[in-house]
């Protein structure tokens, strides 16, 4: 059976890639934010090391290409022929190879325990069998290898003004959700906040706001059309993801907030929304702080295979 998400990524591959990685509105696309954080993790954990990396659900191949440019050997896996066509068209390095496979059966097509790192960006929302995903990742990883995944952040539903807040208030586990969020409200030091303040000052300067590219009517129309077609997928809380990972033989190294929101950009004025989203990017330096999981719509988990 072909799922709605399979159909979507097959039929809307190019538009999805453009929106996630290449839109030109002066903002850092969520796909690039994920790539930047993966690069930061790898540089921190594996300085001056050439790695063998598998990207499950590689999509248009942007992460593969940027990691290959760092000198790593990359295997990209995706079940969408449309996505793989895009991936192969941008692959400029012999250090990248692509494999057509569902994530759930990727370990049958690749050598066991051959990878230092497995990544999976923006895919967890759509997997039918999360335990099988972790089993595949564990089968592919060398002992002690790293798994880096991203999830849609259910805790962000508690963000003031969220359209999903009312649904959470009536959920059976609402009190657990609030308790998990409250535990993340850790202090932020002056040292940590200084880069944020510097970016806010820079992004709010009149000349920088004026220089933000004007979003054309055509771009807005394309975004609305894509939004109407998107299969949203399920959300996780960091705690839920950690429990599932531990059950399948992984331990948590760290969580990172992805795609911060200074305030909800729901204004009818598209220019105001654009400015608010740009201001939100000033919070990116706090991605590794626990509180970032309160104001980010997605999160990244760095896990180790035990």
pLDDT tens-place string over residues 119-168: 999 999 989 899 999 999 999 999 999 999 999 999 999 988 788 999 99
- pLDDT at residue 1, rounded to an integer: 33
The total of other beta-carbon atoms located within 10 Å of residue 264's CB is 16
- pLDDT at residue 80, rounded to an integer: 85
DSSP 53: E
Distance CA 254, CA 303 (A): 7
**Strand arrangement of the beta sheet that strand 296-305 belongs to:** 96-100, 73-78, 52-56, 115-120, 141-152, 296-305, 250-260
Q: Give the residue ranges of the chain where pLDDT is below 70.
A: 1-24, 91-94, 216-231, 264-267
Question: What top-level class would CATH report for the domain 4-305?
Answer: alpha beta
* Domain chopping of the chain, boundaries: 4-305
**Contact call for residues 262 and 197 (beta carbons, < 8 A):** no
- pLDDT at residue 257, rounded to an integer: 98
Q: What does R_g of the chain's alpha carbons equal in angstroms?
A: 19
- pLDDT at residue 143, rounded to an integer: 96
- pLDDT at residue 87, rounded to an integer: 80
Residue 79 phi, psi dihedral angles, 5° rounding: -90, -10
Full DSSP string of 13-38: HHHHHIIIII--SSS--HHHHHHHHH
Which pTM value belongs to this model? 0.89
Instruction: Name, in order, each residue with C-beta under 8 angstroms of 189's C-beta and a sequence gap of 6 or more.
Output: none
- pLDDT at residue 2, rounded to an integer: 39
């Amino acid at each position: 059976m072909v799922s709605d998400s399979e159909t979507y990524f097959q039929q809307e591959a190019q538009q999805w890639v453009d929106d996630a990685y290449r839109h030109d509105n002066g903002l850092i696309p969520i796909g690039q934010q994920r790539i930047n954080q993966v690069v930061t993790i790898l540089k921190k954990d594996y300085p001056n090391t050439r790695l063998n990396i598998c990207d499950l659900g590689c999509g248009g191949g942007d992460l593969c290409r940027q990691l290959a440019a760092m000198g790593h050997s990359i295997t990209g896996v995706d079940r969408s022929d449309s996505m793989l066509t895009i991936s192969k068209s941008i692959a400029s390095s012999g250090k990248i190879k692509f494999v057509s496979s569902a994530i759930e059966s990727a370990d049958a097509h690749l050598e066991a325990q051959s990878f230092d790192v497995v990544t999976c960006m923006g895919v967890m929302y759509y997997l039918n069998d999360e335990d099988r995903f972790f089993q595949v990742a564990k089968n592919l990883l060398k002992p002690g290898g790293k798994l880096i995944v991203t999830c849609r952040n259910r805790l962000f539903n508690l963000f003031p003004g969220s359209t999903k807040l009312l649904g959470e208030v009536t959920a059976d586990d609402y009190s657990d959700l609030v308790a998990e969020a409250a535990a993340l409200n850790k202090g932020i030091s002056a040292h940590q906040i200084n880069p944020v303040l510097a970016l806010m000052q820079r992004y709010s300067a009149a000349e920088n706001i004026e220089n933000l590219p004007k979003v054309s009517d055509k771009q807005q129309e394309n975004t609305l059309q894509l939004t109407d077609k998107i299969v949203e997928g399920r959300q996780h809380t960091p705690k839920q993801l950690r429990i599932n990972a531990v059950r399948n033989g992984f331990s948590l190294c760290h969580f990172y907030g992805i795609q911060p929101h200074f305030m909800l950009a729901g204004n009818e004025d598209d220019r105001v929304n654009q400015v608010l989203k740009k201001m939100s990017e000033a919070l990116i330096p706090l991605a590794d702080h626990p509180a970032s999981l309160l104001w980010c719509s997605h999160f990244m988990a760095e896990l180790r295979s035990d």
